DNA sequence: GTTAATTCCATTGACGCCCATAATACCCCA
DNA sequence: TGGGGTATTATGGGCGTCAATGGAATTAAC
């Protein structure tokens, strides 16, 4: 696999641990020498965004587009970086989700989570919320493709 | 961790001591041979700015851009350096915040402080004040990112 | 001698690390 | 092509270590 694809539904145990799907792990360890993972809240959806260190690089690049001491640059820094965490995987390939992450995505400590591949990053959703979002996205994607005449 | 990221909320005891979050300590000791820390008031916010010795190097570079005896150079020197302190960590990884620091950030001696990762440096905020700033920054960052098209 | 500051020690709780189990997917070979 | 065996994944639990925090003790200062 070259991109994060497909969806996986995994269990969150009482300690807040979730197994990162093995295909995603393989992808992460290929990109970064170490198997770390950057996790943060999605800024416009009740979900979490995750990726390898290159995901963080993307955020940094975005910040460095703006000149030093520029107010918008400071806004970007304060609006993004403090909410990102670098999580390490345990020997079994699990990450531990903190309280604020669980809350943002509407996840519960013993419960379930859906991993959603999005090419260079992936998301973590509460199953019900993902179901709703997926239905909407499928419908809109279909309509868009039909409207363009492309199959 | 390569950058200061994420936020940590720690307790300030009656003596004005706060634990520097362990991930930040690891980062500090990697950059400087010794684990010291440069702390100063944020010039445009009720917060404290902290970083390793490389943070001080950045300030110095800023000053050295200006020619010797140039009035603005003197202004920078007098406006920044006198307010910076080099703090050492005690055996448990805590720093001691002086009265003027507490006052500038609106912190109280028995109370709480939020450590905010900002890449090459981090800030220390009074929890309520940070909450407000974070909400604003997140909203504006989201608007900025949406406005440019890329997620 | 009293006060302040710094160093040291003790407690609590969280987190990481290790092991065990079950289910699944994969592979090899007949 | 089917079957058995093997490896890997996902999951749960227990234990040890370290971080965070509070207080005491020792030293220094006035």
Q: How many CB pairs under 8 A join A and B?
A: 64
> Using a CB cutoff of 8 Å and minimum separation of 24, what contacts does A62-65 make?
A62/B145, A62/B150, A63/B119
Q: Is A59 on the interface with B (CB under 8 A)?
A: no
pLDDT digits (tens, 9 = 90+) for B60-116: 998 998 888 889 899 889 888 888 999 989 989 999 999 999 999 999 989 999 999
- What pLDDT tens digit does each residue of chain A (151 aa) get? 689 999 999 999 999 999 999 999 999 877 665 668 999 999 999 999 999 988 999 999 999 999 988 999 999 999 999 999 999 999 899 999 999 999 999 999 899 999 999 999 999 999 999 999 999 988 888 888 887 655 4
pLDDT digits (tens, 9 = 90+) for B44-74: 999 999 998 888 888 899 899 888 888 989 9
Which strand C bases fall within 7 angstroms of a protein CB?
6-10, 15-20
Which strand D bases fall within 7 angstroms of a protein CB?
8-14, 18-23
Count the neighbouring beta carbons within 10 Å of the beta carbon of residue A11.
Answer: 11
pLDDT attached to residue B31: 65
Closest CA to B23 of B96, B105, B99, B122: B122
Closest CA to B113 of B9, B5, B1: B9
Q: What is the pTM of this model?
A: 0.90
CB contact (8 A) between residue B141 and residue A78? yes
Q: How far apart are CA A39 and CA A84, in angstroms?
A: 6
Q: pLDDT tier at B35 (50, 70, 90 boundaries)?
A: low
In degrees rounded to 5, what are phi and psi of residue B68? -55, 140
What tokens does A28 get? Answer: 């992460």
List of chain A residues whose C-beta atoms are within 8 Å of the C-beta of residue B150: 62
């Amino acid at each position: 696999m070259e991109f994060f694809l497909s969806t996986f539904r995994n269990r969150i145990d009482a300690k807040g641990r979730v197994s990162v799907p093995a295909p995603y792990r393989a992808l992460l360890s290929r990109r970064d020498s170490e198997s770390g993972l950057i996790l943060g809240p999605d800024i416009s959806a009740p979900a979490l965004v995750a990726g390898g260190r290159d995901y963080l690089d993307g955020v940094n690049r975005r910040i460095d587009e703006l000149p030093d001491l520029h107010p918008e640059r400071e806004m970007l820094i304060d609006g993004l970086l403090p909410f990102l965490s670098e999580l390490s995987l345990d020997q079994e390939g699990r990450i531990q989700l903190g309280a604020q992450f669980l809350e943002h995505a509407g996840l519960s400590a013993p419960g379930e989570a859906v991993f959603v591949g999005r090419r260079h990053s992936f998301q973590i959703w509460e199953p019900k919320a993902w179901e709703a979002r997926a239905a909407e996205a499928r419908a809109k994607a279909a309509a868009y493709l039909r409207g363009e005449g492309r199959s």
